[in-house]
Amino acid sequence: MREIRHIAVNAQDGTQLMAYDCGPSGPGPHGPTLILANGLGGNIDAWAYFTDFFGKHHRIVSWDYRGLYRSGAAAASDYTISTHADDGIAVLRALDVAEGIWVGWSMGVQVSFEVVRRHANYVKGLVLINGTYGRPLATAFAPLLKQSPLKPMIPAILRALEAVAYLAEPAQPYAQKVVRLKASLKVLQALGMVSNTLDQRMFTELAIQVAGLNMPRYMAILNSLGDHCAEAILPQIDRPTLVISGDRDLFTPVDLAREMVRRIPEAELLVIPSGTHYTPLEFPELIHLRVQKFIRDRLGFDVGPPAPPAPVGSAPAVQ
C-alpha cells in the first residue's frame, strides 16, 4: 500500500474538503498527474489497486466530495455537480497541480465533464469508467426496467426519500452489520449487480463506509447527480479520452459508453466482458494495463519495459 497524505483544503465557498496526495519519491521517470474523481459510493480507499499500480510513476490526487467521508457539509447546502468540479480545482490549486489526467468513476465521470466545461486548462486527458454524460437516474437499470411504469417515477421517489433521509440514521449501525454478512454479497451477485470476480473484502469495507454516511447529504448529492447533464460538451472535448465500461453494468449501461465514444472526437473504448459497475474492483489488472497503454499511446509517457532478469550465477552490478 502506498502512503497517502491527507491535506485539508478550503473550497471557494469555505466548505472544508479533505484532499489526498500520493506518488513518486526519488529518481525515475514520472508521468502526468492522475486526478481521481470518485463515485458516490467510495473515496480514495476504492482506488487502492489503482494507486498501488500507478503511484510509482505518477503523482495521484483525489478528494472527498463535500458532505461525504472526511469532507465537511456544504456551505449553503450546495451539492451540485458543477460545485464538485470547482472543489476539485480548489484541491489542485492548493496542491500546486497545473493539469492532469482526470480519472472518473461513476459520478466522477460527470464531475470530470464539468471540469472540462468550466476549467479545461486543468485537463490533459480523460479516463472515464462506468459512467454517463447526464441524468443517470433516467437510464439506471434500463436493461431491467425497459418500459416499466416505475421507471419515470424514480427521480420523484428519490426526491421524496431525500426529505426523510434523516429517519435512516437510527438504522445505520444495523445496516453496517448486514453488509458484513457474506449473504449480502451473494444476493448482489445473484441479482447481477456485481460479478463473482469482485474483491469481496474491499467491497465490504466500502459498503460499511457508505452505510455510515450522512444520509441527507448523500441523497442531496444523488439527486443533484440525477439533475446533471453534460451532453452538450461531448462534441467539444479535444483531449485524449478513454471510456471504460462493463457489459453487465446496470447503473450506467454499456450503450451509454458507446454513445459517449461516438460523440467525443477520437475517443477510445474498452468494454470488459462480465464487468459490472464495479469493474475497478473486479478486473483491476485489465483496467490498469489499458490505462497504461492509453497514457503511452495518446499522452506520450512510457515507463519502459521491465529490466530483464539477471542470468543465473551472474555477479551483482557494481553500484
Domain boundaries, the chain: 5-299
Q: If DSSP states are collapsed to H, E and C, what string results for 144-171?
A: HHCCCCCHHHHHHHHHHHHHCHHHHHHH
**pTM of the predicted protein model:** 0.85
Grid cell 485537463 is found at 123
Contact assessment for residue 115 and residue 147, using Cβ atoms and an 8 Å cutoff: no
Q: What is the pLDDT along the chain (319 residues), one digit of tens a residue?
A: 678 999 999 999 999 999 999 988 666 789 999 999 999 888 999 999 999 999 999 999 999 999 999 999 999 999 999 999 999 999 999 999 999 999 999 999 999 999 999 999 999 999 999 999 988 777 765 555 555 555 555 555 455 554 555 446 666 675 666 667 666 767 777 767 788 888 888 888 888 888 888 988 998 999 899 889 999 999 999 999 999 999 999 889 999 999 999 999 999 999 999 999 999 999 999 999 999 999 999 999 987 654 455 454 443 333 3
What CA–CA distance (Å, rounded) separates 276 from 113? Answer: 22
CB atoms within 10 A of CB 250: 18
What CA–CA distance (Å, rounded) separates 59 from 22? Answer: 6
Within 13 Å, how many C-alpha atoms sit on residue 28's CB side?
14
Nearest 5°: the CA angle 150, 155, 159 is 125
Domain 5-299 has CATH 3.90.1150.10: no
Give the per-residue pLDDT at 307. Answer: 45
Give the per-residue pLDDT at 136. Answer: 79
